[in-house]
């Protein structure tokens, strides 16, 4: 059994579910011990909120070299129902390791420790000062402040897929629409006005608009998976209405989740949604109040020299052309992009069932990320 698969089995066997901060100190302790055993420097830091994180460095790193942060996390989302095996009793089969967290994100922790360890054994000439961050509280968003305080020259987020070189993430605008009707006994519908019917019309309108955006509003960047070019997307994600089986509802609320591409400005997008829905409501005699709840802009790394170097590294080790992509969802890169260029690449593939049941990772991808990290730390930036 390889060093990496053995260590991955140990990490996945510890249930680090985010909901109860389960075994956070146990796994942080284990990671520190394992890193030290591999000849690395490792320390546990506990942030004010009580979450332990592990910082791992190489003893022979040039201290004046560029500081490259590798970002990973040890916490996992809860297993959920319907697994075909025990989620925290990991095992190897054929070319995979199975278990909750096997891919997201324990595989990337292990690949990086493996890379650091080999760099020591092989006396690899280090050209940068690499720092592996193994965070807790990532899945809950609790570690945002910790990530925002990180200092360095380049951040490599090892918490995404390996289908493309990802250099950014989509933005998100959330809008609530409150439809007002008139409450009445449902046996006397002529006395009321059904807010759900008004909301339903707006839901259909949003559905069609979303389809059109997905077809026509495209970024110059690729999407990591599924789409060719990254499109804008829009969905109704929540609908709340009705208080009793025999009452015509007076109110119905829908929430719209709109994902933006880097070419869009979230304030413009929010304004457009508000204007168009208000217009639609007016035309259809619907009393609707449209309210923008939150806006987060898309972002991407603009340092072309850094991007080109990473593209080169990946094309060298994979032998394939690498497309530049922007993530469909969000990543922790959002918290560091204000300070340094962010590059995103990791072990996860579309079929790995991350956050789903029967999660697994391919050995091949562990090896790939190990190679990727070794190449980075021996490249001058
Ligand atoms: Zn993750």
pLDDT digit string, tens, across residues 2-44: 999 999 999 999 999 999 999 999 999 999 999 999 999 999 9
Ligand 1 midpoint to CA 158 (Å): 8
Ligand 1 midpoint to CA 361 (Å): 13
Q: What is residue 284's three-state secondary structure?
A: coil
Number of C-alpha atoms within 13 angstroms, CB side, residue 27?
31
Ligand 1 midpoint to CA 103 (Å): 8
Ligand 1 midpoint to CA 373 (Å): 18
Ligand 1 midpoint to CA 25 (Å): 19
Quote the CA–CA distance of 296 and 330 in Å, as a whole number. 10
Ligand 1 midpoint to CA 73 (Å): 7
Residue range 57-68: average pLDDT?
A: 94
Tokens of 12: 């996945």
Residue range 270-278: average pLDDT?
A: 98
Per-residue pLDDT reduced to its tens digit, 309-318: 999 999 999 9
pLDDT of residue 61: 95
Ligand 1 midpoint to CA 160 (Å): 7
pLDDT of residue 368: 98
Ligand 1 midpoint to CA 332 (Å): 9
Q: What is residue 322's three-state secondary structure?
A: coil
Parallel, antiparallel, or unpaired: how do β-strands 299-300 and 129-135 relate?
Answer: unpaired
C-alpha separations of 147 from 77, 101, 143, 152, 254 in Å: 19, 20, 6, 11, 33
Confidence of residue 63 (pLDDT cuts 50, 70, 90): confident
Ligand 1 midpoint to CA 48 (Å): 22
pLDDT of residue 145: 96
Q: Residue-wise over 204-240: b if at least 16 C-beta within 10 A, else e? A: ebbeebbeebeeebbbebbbbeeeeebbbbbebeebe
Is the predicted pLDDT of residue 275 greater than 90, yes or no?
yes
Per-residue pLDDT reduced to its tens digit, 170-218: 999 999 999 999 999 999 999 999 999 999 999 999 999 999 999 999 9
Handedness of CA 332, 120, 55, 23 (dihedral sign): positive
Per-residue pLDDT reduced to its tens digit, 88-126: 999 999 999 999 999 999 999 999 999 999 999 999 999
What are the φ/ψ torsions at residue 77 (nearest 5 degrees)? Answer: -80, 155
pLDDT of residue 158: 98
Ligand 1 midpoint to CA 104 (Å): 5
pLDDT of residue 290: 98
Ligand 1 midpoint to CA 12 (Å): 14
Ligand 1 midpoint to CA 184 (Å): 48
Ligand 1 midpoint to CA 190 (Å): 52
pLDDT of residue 154: 98
Q: If you count DSSP H runs as helices and E runs as strands, how many of each does the chain have, helices first?
A: 8, 20
Ligand 1 midpoint to CA 159 (Å): 5
Tokens of 128: 């940068």
Residue range 243-262: average pLDDT?
A: 98
C-alpha separations of 315 from 156, 223, 251, 319 in Å: 17, 18, 55, 5
Which helix (H) or strand (E) segment is 56 a member of? Answer: strand 52-57
Average pLDDT over all residues of the chain: 97
Ligand 1 midpoint to CA 243 (Å): 38
Residue range 143-164: average pLDDT?
A: 97
Largest Cα–Cα separation, the chain:
83
Ligand 1 midpoint to CA 367 (Å): 18
Quote the CA–CA distance of 216 and 180 in Å, as a whole number. 32
Ligand 1 midpoint to CA 348 (Å): 9
DSSP state of 222: E
Parallel, antiparallel, or unpaired: how do β-strands 218-222 and 41-46 relate?
Answer: unpaired
Is the predicted pLDDT of residue 150 greater than 90, yes or no?
yes
Ligand 1 midpoint to CA 139 (Å): 7
Using a CB cutoff of 5 Å, list residues around ligand 1, an ion: 104-105, 159
Residue range 218-226: average pLDDT?
A: 96
Is the predicted pLDDT of residue 296 greater than 90, yes or no?
yes
Burial of 177 per CB tally in 10 Å (0-12, 13-18, 19+): buried
Ligand 1 midpoint to CA 331 (Å): 8
Quote the CA–CA distance of 136 and 51 in Å, as a whole number. 6
Parallel, antiparallel, or unpaired: how do β-strands 171-180 and 218-222 relate?
Answer: unpaired
Share of the chain above pLDDT 70, in %: 100
- Cβ partners under 8 Å of residue 253, min gap 6: 176, 177, 178, 179, 199, 238, 239, 240, 241
Is the predicted pLDDT of residue 1 greater than 90, yes or no?
no
Residue range 341-347: average pLDDT?
A: 98
């Amino acid at each position: 059994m390889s060093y990496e698969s053995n260590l991955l089995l140990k990490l996945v066997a510890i249930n680090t579910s985010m909901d109860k901060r389960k075994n956070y100190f146990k796994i942080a302790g284990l990671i520190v011990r394992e890193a030290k055993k591999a000849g690395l420097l490792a320390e546990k830091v506990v942030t004010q909120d009580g979450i332990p994180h592990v910082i791992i460095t190489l003893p022979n790193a040039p201290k004046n070299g560029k500081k490259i942060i590798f970002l990973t996390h040890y916490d996992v989302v809860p297993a959920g129902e319907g697994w075909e095996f025990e989620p925290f009793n990991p095992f190897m089969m054929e070319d995979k390791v199975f278990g909750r967290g096997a891919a997201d994100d324990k595989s990337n922790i292990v690949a990086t420790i493996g890379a650091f360890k080999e760099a020591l054994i092989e006396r690899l000439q280090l050209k940068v000062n690499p720092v592996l961050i193994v965070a807790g509280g990532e899945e809950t968003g609790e570690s945002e402040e910790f990530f925002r305080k990180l200092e360095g020259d380049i951040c490599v987020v090892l918490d995404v897929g390996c289908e493309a070189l990802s250099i950014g993430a989509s933005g998100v605008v959330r809008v609530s629409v409150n439809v007002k009707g008139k409450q009445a006994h449902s046996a006397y519908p002529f006395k009321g006005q059904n807010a759900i019917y008004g909301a339903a019309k707006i839901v259909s309108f949003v559905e069609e608009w979303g389809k059109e955006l997905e077809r026509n509003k495209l970024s110059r960047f690729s999407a990591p998976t599924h789409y060719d070019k990254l499109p804008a997307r829009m969905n109704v994600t929540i609908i709340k209405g009705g208080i009793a089986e025999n009452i015509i509802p007076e109110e119905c609320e829908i929430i719209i989740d709109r994902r933006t591409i880097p070419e869009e400005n979230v304030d413009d997008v929010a304004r457009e949604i508000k204007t168009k829905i208000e217009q639609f409501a007016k035309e259809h005699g619907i009393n609707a109040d449209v309210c923008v709840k939150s806006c987060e802009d898309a972002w991407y790394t603009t340092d072309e020299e850094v991007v080109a170097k990473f593209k080169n590294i990946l094309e060298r080790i994979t032998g394939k052309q690498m497309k530049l992509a922007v993530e469909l969802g969000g990543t922790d890169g959002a918290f560091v992009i204000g300070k340094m260029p962010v590059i995103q690449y990791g072990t996860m593939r579309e079929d790995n069932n991350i956050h789903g049941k029967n999660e697994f990772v391919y050995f091949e991808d562990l090896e790939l990320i190990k190679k990727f990290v070794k190449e980075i730390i021996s490249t001058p930036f």
